[in-house]
Chain A
Amino acid sequence: MKKLFYSIALSVLVAAGSSCKKVDNYAAPNVTLKGTVTDAGTGKSLQTEQGSGTRIKLLEISWSSNPTPFYVSSFQDGTYQNTKLFAGKNVISAEGAFVPLVQVDDAGKTIVDKSQTVDVKDVTTVNFSVEPFLRIEWVGDPVLNADGTITTSFKVTRGTADPNFQQNVSDVAVFVNSNNYVGNNNYDNRYTPKLSGNDANNSVGKTLSLTTLGGALPGKRSYFIRVGARVSYGLNYYNYTDVKEVKVP
């Protein structure tokens, strides 16, 4: 009887001990996905704003045909990177201020699909070439005027020939901020000049010059300037130039 008791106790202990073995610990995610969203017309990376600008949409189809999307936000210069992903097969596309890569018609049929199906592993680079709604170029550098204001010259043109994405230009603005993270999500409205309505819509194709508001800018600091414009489409994303710094002595 005692022998039986001990053998049962021993087998329970062995069972308990062996169950502690950590066999099901999945390796931490270590795969890198990176890339750039570029303007097909100019070949340059497409400028955006952080947070509510370009983002990369990942649909991991290794497990499910109807996965919940996973998003990677892009940096404001149009590049993106995530170094903590799991390896897997993904359908990848991008969303932002450009002609959508995946378009659905009113009947729910997918009419355009430029997403890429990629085996994401180790370090994978996926680039996108897109047609921005608007293309904004600097015309010279921003100028510090004698009266302490800054005048910025630029030109807004259509970035796509597709008439479905040539809605009216609703806003044009020369965003001014005290650091280089500048855009519609982050600017100083005391100084930032804006155009809207017809003024904005008539600006397409012309060289415009806008001067900062509020008189002389406080001195002994730098201002970071960036021109943005948007059309009335979807979530009204802005297109941007890159950021220029103006030092006010």
Chain B
Amino acid sequence: MKKFPYIILTFLLCWTTACKKLDTLPPSIISDQDVFSSAAGVTAYMARMYSELPIEDFRYSPERGLNMFWIISPTSATTGEALSRDQNGSMQENTGLSTWSDCYRTIRDANYFSENIGKYAGNFTNDQVNNWLGEARFIRAATYFALVKRYGGVPLVDKVLKYPEQSIEELKIPRNSEEKIYDFIGTDLDYAYANLPETNQVGRANKYVAAGFKSRAMLYAGTVAKYNQISLVDGSGNRLCGIPVAKAVTYFKAAYDAAALLDGKYSLYKKAWAAGDKNAQYLNYVNMFFDASSPENIFVRQYHYPESVHGYDAYNVPRQLMGANGYSSEVNPTLDFVELFDGFPKNADGTIKTTTGGKYDLYTNTMDIFANAEPRLRATVVLPGDVMKGVSIEIRRGIYTGSSVGGINPLLPAGSTAHYPTDNIVQSANASQTPYKLPNGTTMNPAGLSGYFTGDGTNSVSGFSIRKYIVPDKPTSEVLENRSDQTWIELRYAEVLLNRAEAAVELNSLGQSDKSYLQDAFTQINAIRERGGADLLTGTANLTIDVVRKERKKELGFENKQYWDMRRWRVADKEQNSTIYRTLMPFYSANDGKYFFDARLDERNSRYTFDVRWYYEQIPQDEIQKSQNLIQNPGY
């Protein structure tokens, strides 16, 4: 029985050890401690926030939203920059998307970071912590900007909401005024500018990124204040939609000042540029989108095959460069877009000149009409017959077999949307063509290798194809969905200059003269025109807001910016009012052995009409069901 105390002792010993940390967390769950106590953990946290940042890049379309690989309803085909077989009209963002809730998740992540990193500050230097706090604010501001440009005033959440500590009623936060949200974005970006470093890892914000975004956001606010006519006021006097006109000057000044902060820090990309050399200017403009060391890149989103990819090339290459997935030619620039540029024959009204004395002008090659085209146009758009990836992109509507004695009369009356008459024209329904025997004995396919095919839409439906951002040396075997990984340039210096010029011209028109605004706008616009190889402005006399807007459309075309510009200028309902966009159809005249061009309205008759309501997007119904204090935007 002597053993008894020992047994008890052993038993007690086992007991005490068993008490140790019964309530430990499962090791598979990552805690704040794991993430916030090391720089690597913070980098990982940041990486997710940046990947969720709502920017309209290669993976965006209004139909399918942000971060969606399938972009066959391209944004540019809603704005009139392009035509597409899969997007045949203007649209507001698809109301079934989760943009609203996704944005608030990112805002929560940013708020959570800001509130908790302080607890682990001992592990880091002061600078590190401040830089990160600046980054979190930048992300929050950029996310609020994505919300306000869509919906107007939204609920302002600047701290982590806690449930169940806070009651449901308390969490049904009503919308704040549009003005407050823009001011909040401005304040956050000022904070970010003050705390961010001069330089940062590629794809992350530095202080100039914050300033650049501020110039963008404040410019939006200024134009909304000046041009918006929609008003929605809630019961407490918050103007949810619209900003008082009196605030326009304040916002334009903020935009101008923010843009000026980047002076000398970035520059326009001119590595291969040479004065007077159109080909060098063209190559320079093409290269700009692929040079990782470009001094013009301010904020970019990188991709890398195979873990982070998009399919821009596969969807948008001309038909004859089609990859194995069978996609091609989703973005076909309209003639309206092409006519914004200089360097080809034009009529007095600015439209392309294709006839003389009522008869078509004849050209030996389709590129002859564009021989002196603005280099920026060639670098943005594949013109019919121009070279891409070493082959001539052949775009031909059909072969004209009629008599050409005394010239060829227009095939259709002006303004017609009818199909071409078939009596004197041979054409092809699809890519398997029957060659036509020309009078000289040789044969020629009725349509070009990249279209136009009358049966299926898988071709250049506008007579043009897109070059901007298409990788110039990507082998066709790699032109596949989810196989592209070129970098998206979300903010480049040209946009900052355009923001600055636009704010300056607006300030000038609002009677502000504390700086020589018009002269400054003149300088910026000409810098951009010179780089693009366009005709320069000769003086400030004709420098109206329309000149700045046109420059912006040309410079930032197909970069998913015009969709928002048309909205904030409140011109979308004027520009798209039962509008049919124009196309340029090259024909080969069999008897002349030459080409002629027919400029016409889109043969597919796609009409674009922008509904005034869409200036403020519809707030998702399920968000209103969750939080009944949200007031829907007007007209929905």
Assess whether A214 is in contact with B415, with CB atoms less than 8 Å apart.
Answer: yes
A-side contacts of B580, CB under 8 Å: 189
Nearest residue in A to B229 (C-beta to C-beta)?
A232
Complex interface residues of chain B between 226 and 259 (CB less than 8 A to chain A)? 229-231, 233-239
Residue interface mask A68-102, B partner, CB < 8 A = 1: 11000000000000000000000000010000000
Q: How far is the CA of A189 from the CA of B580 in the complex (A)?
A: 8
The segment out of A39-47, A130-138, A180-188 that lies at the interface is: A180-188
Assess whether B628 is in contact with A104, with CB atoms less than 8 Å apart.
Answer: no
Q: How far is the CA of A153 from the CA of B624 in the complex (A)?
A: 47
Q: How far is the CA of A68 from the CA of B574 in the complex (A)?
A: 32
Q: Does A123 contact B (CB under 8 A)?
A: no
Residue interface mask A164-184, B partner, CB < 8 A = 1: 000000000000000000001
Assess whether B229 is in contact with A236, with CB atoms less than 8 Å apart.
Answer: yes
Nearest residue in A to B628 (C-beta to C-beta)?
A66
Q: Does B609 contact A (CB under 8 A)?
A: yes
B-side contacts of A108, CB under 8 Å: 233-238
Q: Measured between C-beta atoms, what is the minimum distance from B336 to chain A in Å? A: 14
A-side contacts of B579, CB under 8 Å: 189
Complex interface residues of chain A between 21 and 66 (CB less than 8 A to chain B)? 52, 66
Most A CB within 10 A of own CB, among B236, B573, B574, B612? B612
Q: How far is the CA of A192 from the CA of B415 in the complex (A)?
A: 12
Complex interface residues of chain B between 552 and 591 (CB less than 8 A to chain A)? 573-574, 577-580
Residue interface mask B199-240, A partner, CB < 8 A = 1: 000000000000000000000000000000111011111110
Q: How far is the CA of A192 from the CA of B579 in the complex (A)?
A: 12
Q: Does B611 contact A (CB under 8 A)?
A: yes
Assess whether A69 is in contact with B230, with CB atoms less than 8 Å apart.
Answer: no
Nearest residue in B to A214 (C-beta to C-beta)?
B415
Q: How far is the CA of A30 from the CA of B625 in the complex (A)?
A: 25
Assess whether A52 is in contact with B578, with CB atoms less than 8 Å apart.
Answer: no
Q: Measured between C-beta atoms, what is the minimum distance from B606 to chain A in Å? A: 13
Q: How far is the CA of A104 from the CA of B417 in the complex (A)?
A: 46
Nearest residue in A to B634 (C-beta to C-beta)?
A235
B-side contacts of A234, CB under 8 Å: 229-231, 634
Count of chain B residues with a beta carbon within 8 Å of a chain A beta carbon: 32
Assess whether B233 is in contact with A104, with CB atoms less than 8 Å apart.
Answer: yes
Q: Does B632 contact A (CB under 8 A)?
A: yes
Q: How far is the CA of A69 from the CA of B230 in the complex (A)?
A: 19
Q: A52-B611, A235-B613 are in contact. Are A190 and B415 (CB under 8 A)?
A: yes
Assess whether B632 is in contact with A236, with CB atoms less than 8 Å apart.
Answer: no
Nearest residue in A to B613 (C-beta to C-beta)?
A235
Q: Does B406 contact A (CB under 8 A)?
A: no
Q: Does A106 contact B (CB under 8 A)?
A: yes
Q: Measured between C-beta atoms, what is the minimum distance from A104 to chain B in Å? A: 5
Q: A188-B578, A189-B577, A234-B229 are in contact. Are A106 and B239 (CB under 8 A)?
A: yes
Q: Does A105 contact B (CB under 8 A)?
A: yes
Assess whether B611 is in contact with A69, with CB atoms less than 8 Å apart.
Answer: no
Q: Does B635 contact A (CB under 8 A)?
A: yes
Q: How far is the CA of A62 from the CA of B235 in the complex (A)?
A: 21
Residue interface mask A209-238, B partner, CB < 8 A = 1: 000001100000000000000001111100
Q: How far is the CA of A186 from the CA of B577 in the complex (A)?
A: 9
Q: How far is the CA of A104 from the CA of B625 in the complex (A)?
A: 24
Residue interface mask B605-636, A partner, CB < 8 A = 1: 00101011100000000001100100010110
Q: A52-B611, A105-B233 are in contact. Are A236 and B628 (CB under 8 A)?
A: no
Q: How far is the CA of A187 from the CA of B609 in the complex (A)?
A: 10
Assess whether B612 is in contact with A236, with CB atoms less than 8 Å apart.
Answer: yes
Count of chain A residues with a beta carbon within 8 Å of a chain B beta carbon: 27
**Contact check: which of A105, A187, A196 meets B578 at CB < 8 Å?**
A187
Q: Measured between C-beta atoms, what is the minimum distance from B421 to chain A in Å? A: 15
A-side contacts of B612, CB under 8 Å: 52, 235-236
Assess whether B635 is in contact with A52, with CB atoms less than 8 Å apart.
Answer: yes
Q: How far is the CA of A233 from the CA of B612 in the complex (A)?
A: 11
Most A CB within 10 A of own CB, among B414, B416, B417, B635? B635
Q: A190-B415, A233-B229, A236-B612 are in contact. Are A68 and B624 (CB under 8 A)?
A: yes
Q: Does A107 contact B (CB under 8 A)?
A: yes
Q: How far is the CA of A186 from the CA of B234 in the complex (A)?
A: 33
A-side contacts of B230, CB under 8 Å: 234-235
B-side contacts of A188, CB under 8 Å: 578
A-side contacts of B414, CB under 8 Å: 214
Q: How far is the CA of A188 from the CA of B233 in the complex (A)?
A: 36
**Contact check: which of B233, B417, B632 meets A106 at CB < 8 Å?**
B233
Q: How far is the CA of A236 from the CA of B571 in the complex (A)?
A: 12
Assess whether B613 is in contact with A52, with CB atoms less than 8 Å apart.
Answer: yes
A-side contacts of B607, CB under 8 Å: 189
**Contact check: which of A66, A68, A184, A190 meets B417 at CB < 8 Å?**
A190
Q: How far is the CA of A105 from the CA of B625 in the complex (A)?
A: 27
Q: How far is the CA of A68 from the CA of B634 in the complex (A)?
A: 13
Q: Measured between C-beta atoms, what is the minimum distance from A65 to chain B in Å? A: 11
A-side contacts of B239, CB under 8 Å: 106
Q: Measured between C-beta atoms, what is the minimum distance from A213 to chain B in Å? A: 8
Q: How far is the CA of A109 from the CA of B579 in the complex (A)?
A: 40
Assess whether A185 is in contact with B609, with CB atoms less than 8 Å apart.
Answer: yes
Q: Measured between C-beta atoms, what is the minimum distance from A239 to chain B in Å? A: 15
Nearest residue in B to A167 (C-beta to C-beta)?
B229
**Contact check: which of A69, A187, A192 meets B632 at CB < 8 Å?**
A69
B-side contacts of A187, CB under 8 Å: 578
**Contact check: which of A107, A186, A192, A235 meets B635 at CB < 8 Å?**
A235
Assess whether B613 is in contact with A107, with CB atoms less than 8 Å apart.
Answer: no
Residue interface mask B32-52, A partner, CB < 8 A = 1: 000000000000000000000
B-side contacts of A189, CB under 8 Å: 577-580, 607
A-side contacts of B609, CB under 8 Å: 184-185
Most B CB within 10 A of own CB, among A95, A185, A188, A190? A190
B-side contacts of A107, CB under 8 Å: 233, 237
Q: How far is the CA of A196 from the CA of B574 in the complex (A)?
A: 10
Nearest residue in B to A69 (C-beta to C-beta)?
B632
B-side contacts of A236, CB under 8 Å: 229, 573, 612
Q: Measured between C-beta atoms, what is the minimum distance from A62 to chain B in Å? A: 16
Q: Measured between C-beta atoms, what is the minimum distance from B476 to chain A in Å? A: 41
Nearest residue in A to B232 (C-beta to C-beta)?
A104
Q: How far is the CA of A232 from the CA of B227 in the complex (A)?
A: 11
Q: Measured between C-beta atoms, what is the minimum distance from A197 to chain B in Å? A: 10
Q: How far is the CA of A215 from the CA of B413 in the complex (A)?
A: 10
Q: How far is the CA of A211 from the CA of B497 in the complex (A)?
A: 45
Supply 7 further A-B pairs (C-beta < 8 A) apart from A106-B239, A189-B578.
A95-B635, A184-B578, A187-B578, A190-B417, A215-B413, A234-B229, A234-B231
Q: Can you report 6 A-B residue pairs in the complex whose CB atoms are below 8 A from each other?
A: A52-B613, A66-B628, A105-B233, A106-B239, A234-B634, A235-B613
Residues of B within 8 A of A (CB): 229-231, 233-239, 413-417, 573-574, 577-580, 607, 609, 611-613, 624-625, 628, 632, 634-635
Report the 3 A-B pairs with minimum CB-CB distance, sorted nearest first: A108-B237, A107-B237, A189-B578
